[in-house]
Amino acid sequence: EDQVTQSPEALRLQEGESSSLNCSYTVSGLRGLFWYRQDPGKGPEFLFTLYSAGEEKEKERLKATLTKKESFLHITAPKPEDSATYLCAVQALGSSYKLIFGSGTRLLVRP
Amino acid sequence: DTAVSQTPKYLVTQMGNDKSIKCEQNLGHDTMYWYKQDSKKFLKIMFSYNNKELIINETVPNRFSPKSPDKAHLNLHINSLELGDSAVYFCASSGENAYGYTFGSGTRLTVV
C-alpha cells in the first residue's frame, strides 16, 4: 500500500536556526513527490514537485531533495513567517493523479 | 483572481440535513478533485473528475455525490449528514500530467 510518513510531527526553531523536515514514502512507482505549505484556515499552497532521485529544487529559504525512499525539506535561516504546516504527498504511476499525503510537520519559528 | 474558489467557507448544519459545496477553477485545468481533511489534519482524496468524467471514487459513503457540470466546476452534495462528516473539504484542480496541482481555501463543515 502506498504510504507517506513525515517527521517530526512538530518542530520549534529559533529564527535563523536551520533544520530539515523528513518525508519517507512507500509507493509502487513514483510519478512525483509534492511539498505544500498550509497556513491555519487556508488550503495547501504548492511549493515543489520532484520527479526523480537526486533532483533538488529551491525557493527562497527552502530546498527540497529526493532519494528513492525519502525527501527532505531543508529550511535555511528560517524567519517567523515560515511558521506553517508543511505537507508532503506522493503521486503513484497509474493512480489517476491522486495525491497521498503525510500527516504534516508543524513548524514554529520564534523571533 | 482566485484560482480555485469554494463556497461556502463555513457550513454549520444539523444531523440528517442535505448540503452542497461548490467549487470553481479558472486555471483551465482538465482535472478536479475533492479531498477531506480530518481533525488530525490528514488530507485524503475522495473523488476526481477529468473533463466531467469520474475517474477516482475512493471508499466514500454513497451519501456523498459529486457532480461536474463542466470542466471548470465540481460540486459535492452530501445527504443525511452525520456527526462524523465534520471536517474541512478541499477542492483542487490540475492540468495535464497533474501539472499545477492547486487547492482551494477549504470549506469547514460542522455537523451538530
Whether A87 sits inside 8 A of B43 (CB atoms) is yes
Unique residue bearing C-alpha cell 506522493: A90
> Nearest Cα to B109, choosing from B5, B32, B15?
B15
Three cell numbers at A66?
529526493
Least CB–CB distance from A96: residue in B35, B55, B92? B55
Q: A43 at the B interface (CB within 8 A)?
A: yes
Distance between first and last Cα of chain A: 41
Three cell numbers at A37?
505549505
CA-only gyration radius of chain A, Å: 13
Q: Give yes or no for a contact between B21 and B75, defined as CB atoms under 8 angstroms apart.
A: yes
Unique residue bearing C-alpha cell 462528516: B85
The pLDDT of residue A6 is: 97
pLDDT in single tens digits along all 111 residues of chain A: 889 999 999 999 999 999 999 999 999 899 999 999 999 999 999 999 999 999 999 999 999 999 999 999 999 999 999 999 999 999 998 877 889 999 999 999 999
The angle at the Cα of B37, spanning B33 to B38, to the nearest 5 degrees, equals 150
Task: State yes or no: pLDDT of B59 exceeds 90.
Answer: no
The pLDDT of residue A3 is: 93
Whether A98 sits inside 8 A of B45 (CB atoms) is yes
3-class secondary structure, B56: strand
Whether B4 sits inside 8 A of A85 (CB atoms) is no
Q: Give yes or no for a contact between B37 and B56, defined as CB atoms under 8 angstroms apart.
A: no
d(CA B67, CA B76): 6
The pLDDT of residue B97 is: 73
Task: State yes or no: pLDDT of B92 exceeds 90.
Answer: yes
The pLDDT of residue B95 is: 87
